[in-house]
Structures are given as structure tokens and as C-alpha cells.
A and B are shown apart, each in its own frame.
Chain A
Amino acid sequence: GAGVSQSPSNKVTEKGKDVELRCDPISGHTALYWYRQSLGQGLEFLIYFQGNSAPDKSGLPSDRFSAERTGGSVSTLTIQRTQQEDSAVYLCASSSISGYEQFFGPGTRLTVL
């Protein structure tokens, strides 16, 4: 397993439901990032983890969004009470401790009906 993996690849949900998106980074990468790609907004930074800590949560669009990382590896992005404007592709990336070269997963396409 060389690359960053994300699951599910596609998620369709109804407005108001909660969703969990998972990211499995490259083994040994200490930094993990979440981004969102949507029409009209381009690529937006959401949150960054170094180990299990999130020193930068500045990009989370509202308090309905939260993320955690356990064991310095897998991360989960949770969106509560989903809204139609949450529809987007959610991308995860990881990097080594130097941080500047990020490797991206294939993304999770979220559709909120």
C-alpha cells in the first residue's frame, strides 16, 4: 500500500444526516491534511494534523465539521447535520515531517441531497 487511501470513494446522503470520511495516510508520514474541492470554491484547506494534534483548524467552515486522528495514522473527518453546500470532493494528503511535499488520496465525493 504505497499511497494515501480514502473511503468511501462516493457518499450520497440526505440533508441533516451525519457522515464520516476516512483517510489512511502513507506509512510513516507524520503530517496529514484535509482539503475540499468544490465548484466555485476551488481547493480549500480544512485542517492539518501533526501526529495526533491539530495545530491549525482555521479552515473548518463551521462547527458542524470536526476531525480526529488516532495513533498518528488514520484520520476521520466528520460532518454533522449535512447541508447541500457541503457537497464536494474531500481530499486527504500526507507528508513527511518536512511537510512541503504532500501526496494526495483519490478523494471522497460527497453528495448531499
Chain B
Amino acid sequence: GDSVTQMEGPVTLSEEAFLTINCTYTATGYPSLFWYVQYPGEGLQLLLKATKADDKGSNKGFEATYRKETTSFHLEKGSVQVSDSAVYFCASFSSGSARQLTFGSGTQLTVLP
């Protein structure tokens, strides 16, 4: 089955720092890839997505590019804010018989003022 490996946390950055959270996947075929964010006390929200190789997903200043050659979907933001403090989950979805999201373990990000 699919699996997603995500950079271990927690990650602590100062405001305006550059953020990278690494994510790699294994799957049969070509899954769709997602980043979800979970703010304190809230549910999962879709942050961005990419459905095929070389697609770039972007939202709220975050970006991730679907790299088939390295089976990666790293999350980046050029300048983080305190309000970005949350847990970030990388996930894959393969539209075969097992129609489920496979999640990474999550990365806790704390941004200090």
C-alpha cells in the first residue's frame, strides 16, 4: 500500500524565516498529493494539492511541487508568520480500490515573534 514519510518535528522558527517540511511518498501508480494543516483545537484543513507530476500547489504563501523523479512533495514558505503555527500533514490518495488518504506522521511548527 501507499506510505508517506514526513520530516520529524517539532520545528521552531522565528517570524519571517524560511520554512521547508520534507515529504516523500511510495505508491503504485501516480497518487494525488496533499498538504493538510491543523491549527490548535481545530480540524484538518486542506492547504494545497497537486494531482500530477510537476504540478505546483500553492495557497496562503505556501507552495509544494509534485516531483515524480524524487517521489517528493516538500512544503515551503518564504516568510512564516506566528499565525502559521500548527501541525502540518502530508498525504497521498490513490484512486484504486483503497480509496483513502494515507497521512504522514505530522510536523508541529511553532513560529516565535
Contacts and interface: CB of A to CB of B under 8 A. Distances in A.
Interface of A: 31, 33, 35, 42-43, 45, 48, 50, 55-56, 58-59, 91, 93, 99-107
Does more than half of chain A's interface fall in helix, strand or loop, or is it mixed?
A: strand
B32 A104 contact: no
Contact of B101 (A55, A102, A107): A102
Given A33-B100, A42-B105, A59-B100, A100 B95 contact: yes
B interface, how many residues as a size bin?
Answer: 20 to 34
Contacts of B59: none
A57 to B, nearest CB: 11
A56 B99 contact: yes
Contacts of A107: 43
Nearest to B31: A100
B100 A45 contact: yes
A33 B98 CA distance: 12
Contacts of B105: 42
Nearest to A59: B100
A59 B97 CA distance: 13
Contacts of A101: 34, 46, 49
Contacts of A48: 99-100
Contact of A100 (B36, B45, B51, B102): B51
